[in-house]
Amino acid sequence: MNLSQFDDNAKSYLEKILAILDIEAEVLQEDVDDTTTCYRIECKSDDARILIGKNGQTLESLQFVVRQMVKSKTLDRSHFIVDVCDYRGRRRRTLEEQAKKGAVAVLNGDSERFPLMPMTAYDRRLVHNYLQENFPDLASESEGEGEGRHIVISFKGLEDGEGGEDHGDDAHDGDVEE
């Protein structure tokens, strides 16, 4: 199956699901980078709240279902994300603000280790990457399990190991939704 068929399937599945839910929406397709496509759903704010759910849980589930449907039709494991009314962009900006606050607290000596709130594997990866790109003297380490898994920010060499950055399973997790 070529990429065009893959794109048609993902977009088509999203449109079918939206129709079943009786949600009037437009599904727009955008290339995020060379390997990732974003299917952006534009709809009314009440419908957006339904599709996003608490802390984006419904959106994550919708993306998972569409990914499984596409996988069942093809061996192609192309990456895609599903977004609703730029929720993921707003979420990313919020996470970056929280990470910056924690990084500044560590850099100013207000805290040796600054724990962030629990977040999904996808969100943790965004934060790890943000900190790595913007705060090279700091390390970020994932701690905890399940829904309590979170990031702790510290100076490099102060985390539990011998030093260096530890991104746990977040940086290389093949099942992380993108």
Report residue 174's pLDDT band, with 50, 70 and 90 as the boundaries: very low
pLDDT at 4: 47
Question: Alpha-carbon dihedral of residues 79, 135, 96, 28, nearest 10 degrees?
Answer: -30
Q: What is the largest CA-CA distance in the chain?
A: 54
CA-to-CA distance for 63 and 9, rounded, in angstroms?
13
Q: Which two tokens stand for residue 167?
A: 């991104």
From residue 152, give the alpha-carbon distance in Å to each of 7, 92, 107, 124, 173. 37, 18, 14, 10, 18
Overall average pLDDT of the 28-54 stretch: 92
Spell out the domain ranges in the chain.
3-85, 90-155
> Tokens in use for 178?
């993108």
Q: Is 60 exceeded by the pLDDT of residue 61?
A: yes
Q: Which pLDDT band holds residue 27 (cuts at 50, 70, 90)?
A: very high
CATH architecture of 90-155: 2-Layer Sandwich (3.30)
Query: Each residue of 135-160: pLDDT tens digit?
Result: 999 999 999 999 899 999 999 876 55
CATH superfamily of 3-85: K homology (KH) domain (3.30.300.20)
102-143 residue pLDDT tens: 999 999 999 999 999 999 888 999 999 999 999 999 999 999
> What sign does the dihedral 57-7-17-86 (CA atoms) show?
positive
